[in-house]
Amino acid sequence: QITLKESGPTLVKPTQTLTLTCTFSGFSLSTSGVGVGWIRQPPGKALEWLALIYWNDDKRYSPSLKSRLTITKDTSKNQVVLTMTNMDPVDTATYYCAHNEVSADTATGWFDPWGQGTLVTVSS
């Protein structure tokens, strides 16, 4: 059974850097075809993809947020970390991490399952 859980601060101040950790079980990030992604959802709004990291350390970022994001993995700890710099109130959202799978005929793959999400509020 695959499970993921997000952890990090619930409140950050504007201009600060957000660091979120995704701790997972039930799979290994050293297995070919496996990845972990981050997706966020502002209150009452749509899902927005942020970043993806694959088993081979290939990293993908949302073009609109690329300059602010860094994704890393620690295979031995079964963790993926996302950092987002220069936080702003518009970044207030629930942040999800999710297991990702790709195959020879897919591009970025699909997300299944997802963590429960963590609400991050940006406010002074």
Partner 1 sequence: SYELTQPPSVSVSPGQTARITCSGDALPKQYAYWYQQKPGQAPVLVIYKDSERPSGIPERFSGSSSGTTVTLTISGVQAEDEADYYCQSADSSGTSVVFGGGTKLTVL
Give min distance, CB of 85 to partner 1, in A. Answer: 20
Give min distance, CB of 13 to partner 1, in A. Answer: 27
Tallying the residues shown for the chain, one arrives at 124
Give min distance, CB of 83 to partner 1, in A. Answer: 19
Residues near partner 1 (CB under 8 A): 37, 39, 46-49, 52, 60, 62-64, 96, 105-108, 110-117
Q: Which of 70, 27, 35 is nearest to 50 (CA)?
A: 70
Q: Which is nearer to partner 1, 38 or 73 (CB)?
A: 38
Q: Which is nearer to partner 1, 117 or 122 (CB)?
A: 117
Peptide bond into 113 cis (omega under 30): yes
Q: Give start and end residues of each alpha helix (H) in the chain.
A: none
Please check whether residue 80 is in contact with residue 22, taking contact to mean a CB–CB distance below 8 angstroms: yes
Q: Which two tokens stand for residue 104?
A: 């020879």
Q: Which is nearer to partner 1, 93 or 117 (CB)?
A: 117
